[in-house]
Structure 1
Amino acid sequence: MFMWPSCSPRAKAGDAPVQCARLFKLAKDSAVKARTQAINQLKAVLITADPDPREQLAGPEESGPSQDLRAIRRS
């Protein structure tokens, strides 16, 4: 690609709205990945746990991991 001698490429300043949106997306993607990783670790712990605590934590399907964590914290 030919560029005129008077044209020189400039680096982006990094303060544009697009850059801010990119950083927010990066933070969100990282948080989602960490959340998924934590849920998977909890599931693995529950699978390998003794039957008594596992049955105590096993509740209705509606409960979800966050309510299971609250139950663990209370005990």
Structure 2
Amino acid sequence: MAEEPVFNRIAVLRADRGVSRRDLAAALGVHYQTVGYLERGEYSPSLHLALRIAEFFEVPVEVVFSLKPFPKLGSTL
């Protein structure tokens, strides 16, 4: 069975807060390329990493990650 994709808003949250991939990676203790893999959906984080990312952005984990694609930002207005 193929692994179900995990969608995320890491890039949106980073841009909103002016945080670079390198800065986020340093705060999380991961390589900056890992942040890129996460943003592109090429890598699904462990539960521990997902919770740390949510904690970094001070939002619930459901704001960052979903099993369904997030709606486009303009479509909810």
Pick the structure with more helix per residue. 1
User: Who wins on radius of gyration, i.e. which is larger?
Assistant: 1
TM-score (norm 1): 0.28
Q: Considering Cα pairs closer than 8 Å and 6+ residues apart, tell me whether 1 or 2 has the greater RCO.
A: 2
Pick the structure with more strand per residue. 2
